[in-house]
Structure 1
Amino acid sequence: MTASNSRALHATWLSMLACEPGIEIKGEPVMDATCLATCLERRHPKVLLLDKMLLDRLDPLSLRRIRQHRPHVRVLLVSGQVCRSVVADVLRNRFHGLLLTTSPPDLYLKAIHAISKGELWLSRQLMAEAIIDPTWPLEIGVSADPERLHAMETLSRRELQVVERLHRGCSNKEIARELGIMEDTVKKHLKSVFAKLGVRRRALVILQGSATA
């Protein structure tokens, strides 16, 4: 199902997906934010392409109704720009992925197929920025505090090397190759980093799952 207040964006999505094997567009495009929750409840799509501009128009009640369907509907947020505030929207609402509006068709299809299988689609680099910047909370309702600032100082030299490469967009396999260590060792370092910084499990899943890099 697609949701955007832009007719041009809907037209782009339709031309991209209409003839794609294994993908069926459910119902007419949703252009009114007030109708989105009702349409989700009626059509039961597996994946929702949600325009960031329409998300910004959702009232709290509609957003809460959409969250109730989150286990059954996987939301791919599509935005004209990818920045920290948009990543925060994904994390805060527990959406399943983030994609640029201008992404090529093959990337749209990869993202849709990935989240439909239960994977997560988010840039490793953006997620790493959120982790290594202690002033930016990853979880809703959590403010930056001195404890997290001090926690950065507890990271070992190797953990800092892993995070620095994660920030560059490297995969676990690429990090292991550059540092001359096993991929399982990279995962252990990441788990230690998340534990020290108080980053919850969702960030770990995003970083170790599929990513647009």
Structure 2
Amino acid sequence: MTALDRQPLQAAWRSMLASRPGIEIQGEPVVDPTRLTTCLERHQPRVLLLDKALLDRLDPMSLQWIRQRCPRVRVLLVSEEICRSAVADVLRNRFHGLLLTTSPPDLCLKAIRAVSKGELWLSRRLLAHVVTDPTWPLPPAEAAASDPDRPHAMDTLTRREFQVVARLRRGCSNKEIARELGIMEDTVKKHLKSVFAKLGVHRRALVILQAAGASDSLSRLRW
């Protein structure tokens, strides 16, 4: 489903997507934020392409309603530029990605298909920069990503798991983490699986958010 602020942008995206195999456009194009919740409840699309300009016009209650009533809808935020507020919107609202309106069609399709599978479409390097820059307007890590009943979950990680998380926070891939720590890539995956279980999360981005709230613990370790 597309929810874009401008009719020309709506027309261009829907035209591009209509001819692509494996893509089905659901519902009418949404340009009025007051109609978004109704359309989502009626069609329950797997992926919602949401324009940042339209998001900025949504009231907080509508966003809360979408999270509660449409938990399976994955939101891919579409923005004219990769700005601080757009990245913060993705993380604050637990969206699944950020895509430029000027992205080439093949990249748009790749992003949509990745998000439809539950993946996060956001550069690891960009995400790492966001959570380590104190000037970015992010929510508290525990409010966005952690289980409220487990506020000190980071303290349950082993020394090696902390080392993996620290490099994950820098934007390293599994292969880069394995090379830096002198271990096998499969071992990195096992450590990450353990970290996910201990923190009660299922995505790398959420691990990074929790790590951002545990900077003191991370900084005390010697690498």
| Global fold match (TM > 0.5) | yes
Task: Report SS of the residue matched to 2:119.
Answer: coil
Gaps of at least 5 residues in structure 1 are 143-155, 209-213
Gaps of at least 5 residues in structure 2 are 146-158, 209-223
Distance 2:172 2:121 in 1: 15
Q: Which residue of 2 aligns with 1:25?
A: 25
Deviates more, 1:25-34 or 1:170-179: 170-179
Any conservation in 2 of the 1:37–1:66 contact (CA below 8 Å)? yes
Q: Equivalences for 1:50-69 in 2 at 5 Å? A: 50-69=50-69
Alignment root-mean-square deviation, CA:
3.7
| TM-score normalised by the chain length of structure 1 | 0.72
**What is the CA deviation profile of residues 85-105 of structure 1, one whole-angstrom value per residue up to 9, with x for unaligned ones?**
222211221111111111111
Structure 1 residues 101 and 200, CA gap change in structure 2 (3 angstroms): farther
Any conservation in 2 of the 1:91–1:139 contact (CA below 8 Å)? no
How many residue pairs match? The answer is 194
Distance 2:32 2:188 in 1: 45
Q: Which residue of 2 aligns with 1:37?
A: 37
Any conservation in 2 of the 1:122–1:206 contact (CA below 8 Å)? no
Task: Report SS of the residue matched to 1:57.
Answer: coil
Q: Equivalences for 1:1-213 in 2 at 5 Å? A: 1-133=1-133, 137-138=140-141, 140=143, 167=170, 170-177=172-179, 180-184=182-186, 186=188, 201=201, 204-205=204-205
Identity percentage over the alignment?
67
Structure 1 residues 16 and 175, CA gap change in structure 2 (3 angstroms): farther
Structure 1 residues 161 and 22, CA gap change in structure 2 (3 angstroms): closer
Distance 2:172 2:189 in 1: 13
Any conservation in 1 of the 2:37–2:65 contact (CA below 8 Å)? yes
Deviates more, 1:9-18 or 1:84-93: 84-93
Structure 1 residues 70 and 120, CA gap change in structure 2 (3 angstroms): farther
Distance 1:133 1:193 in 2: 23
Any conservation in 2 of the 1:130–1:138 contact (CA below 8 Å)? no
